[in-house]
Amino acid sequence: MRKLLPALLATLALLFVSACGSDDSGGGSGSSEGVGEDKDVELTQENFAEEISKAQLDAGTAHMTMTMDMMGTPITMEGDTVLADDPADVAMSLSMDMEGMGAPEGTSMDMRMVDQVIYMNMGQMTEDKFVKIDLTDESNPLGAEFSDILEQSNPAAQIEAMNDSITSFEEAGDGGEIDGVSTTKYNLTLDAAKVMEAQGQDTVGAPETFEYVMYVGEDNLPRQMDIEIPGMGTSTIEWSKWGEDVSIDAPSDDEITDQDPFGGMAGS
């Protein structure tokens, strides 16, 4: 558990900050300029990742909810992001129920990323305080578990990785109204090994493909994405509140502890 949990948390956090970006600084708020405007661009396999990322860059902030079913275990998390061209300026806050990941009953997590530092409050496991993980501190082994978050939150790297990973692309017609926005449905098949390599994950035992269904508004902003991971489960991500003001702050000094949240876990 000691090795598995940080790696899984890093992967989940990555989904909240990757493939996106903006010109705003972390910890602040994004601009709603251009949000909701028809981009009047036909999305194709060749330009899909780039156009979607451009729209997110323009929006600058988003609220996200993720519901996962991993081999029968439900996991739900929710949070906000302030997106940035420079990974050092990306900010994130999310909360999730930890019971499905083997933590004690009633354990929840409050996780923030500000100024290249991750803060995690895991309830009684951390005495209801935040563990501080400096992603730039090479001497901290726990920080190394999460270091890929910074590298992979670079939107240019994510655009290239996604373009290289798409093996099948289909516009599947009207996706209905989501979050008050009319959407178009897109079916994508991605090379699983390329996706995992781009996220710094071990590809041993990886499925051949990931199947994505994305619902995109006329403003090219994603509103929902359904992911199927063969042999593991499914995940649904919903985006809303694009471009609305978001403020994400680091905890105060008296809210931070040096305790290792993974040290006392069984199997660590």
pLDDT digits (tens, 9 = 90+) for 88-132: 778 889 888 776 666 666 677 898 989 989 898 988 778 899 999
Query: What pTM, to 2 d.p., does this model score?
Result: 0.78
Beta strand 256-257 pairing with 130-134: parallel
In-domain check, residue 266: no
| Number of domains the chain contains | 1
Q: Which residues pair with 247 in a beta bridge?
A: none
Comparing 156 with 249, the larger pLDDT belongs to: 249
Question: Which range of residues forms the domain containing residue 36?
Answer: 4-257
CB 25 within 8 A of CB 9: no
15-19, 163-167, 196-200: range with lowest mean pLDDT: 15-19
Helix (H) or strand (E) holding 108: strand 108-114
In-domain check, residue 262: no
Cα–Cα dist 34/218, whole Å: 11
The pLDDT tens digits for 35-56 are 767 778 899 999 998 898 888 8
Tokens 């129920």 sit at which residue? Answer: 97
| CA angle 55–236–147, rounded 5-degree value | 70
In-domain check, residue 268: no
In-domain check, residue 248: yes
Q: Is the pLDDT of residue 26 over 70?
A: no
The pLDDT tens digits for 66-99 are 888 877 778 888 999 888 777 777 888 988 877 6
In-domain check, residue 265: no
In-domain check, residue 267: no
In-domain check, residue 263: no
In-domain check, residue 89: yes
Q: What is the CATH number of the domain that holds 241?
A: 2.50.20.20
